[in-house]
Amino acid sequence: MSEKQKGILVVVSGFSGVGKGTIMKKLLNDYKEDYALSVSATTRSPRAGEIHGQSYFFVSKEKFEDMIKENELIEYAQYVGNYYGTPKEYVFEQLDAGKSVILEIEIQGALKIKEQFPSTKLLFITAPSAQELKKRLENRGTETEDVINFRMKRAVEESEEIEKYDYLICNEEIDKAVSKVHSIIQNCRFNNLDEIKQDLIINNLENINQMRSDLKNFSKGE
């Protein structure tokens, strides 16, 4: 199989509550022949409806630390008190089979992967506004107000890292966001980069700066 026929490695990140999981689920359902979603290992507890081995590999802290020692992870990081990491073997099997592998992980891990594998494409998903982001967190119904406020403050910090990504997607409407993610990945895979110039981070700095400013003001209660 030629390099062109191989899949590419893609990392998708975004603010907590922005809808990454929903986008990934629909993307894999609509384009199941093109993609494989890497299943991360985590030490956090399952949320309602999450399934071990599909949503995440839910493991103990001790088991996760054993995986680190045995070099079984591409990357790992701690976020809101829990470990998250990407097991190696599945990722490389899927790439060789011709599927692009998507890792839905936070910024720390994304940048570590980009450092190890420079050809990786980094996609950042944002919400239309800071107010909408908080609304989506509240609508989850799984977190306390304190946790929601923590996640909003964390979004302020994360917004400072967006320029390290390659492409930006605003999740205003789910079907359009899914179509945009698919378009970006496929055009990157087959090197049709002129088709997605408008989605480059560098061409969306005005929107990024506006979101960053809104998040800062929102977190201060303004």
Q: Give the residue numbers of the binding site for ATP.
A: 14-21
Binding-site residues, in ranges, read 14-21
- Take residue 185 and report the two structure tokens written for it: 């990945």
- CB-based contacts of 203, cutoff 8 Å, min separation 6: 197
Sheet holding 57-58, edge to edge: 57-58, 41-42, 82-87, 73-79
List helix spans (H) across the chain.
Answer: 20-30, 61-69, 88-96, 107-116, 130-140, 145-159, 174-189, 205-219
- CB-based contacts of 1, cutoff 8 Å, min separation 6: 96, 98
Q: Which candidate, 29, 165, 10, places its Cα nearest to that of 86?
A: 10
- CB-based contacts of 222, cutoff 8 Å, min separation 6: none
What's the Rg (C-alpha) of the chain? Answer: 17
Interatomic CA distance for residues 13 and 20, integer angstroms: 7
DSSP-assigned letters across all residues of 24-54: HHHHHHHTTTTEEEPPPEESSPPPTT--BTT
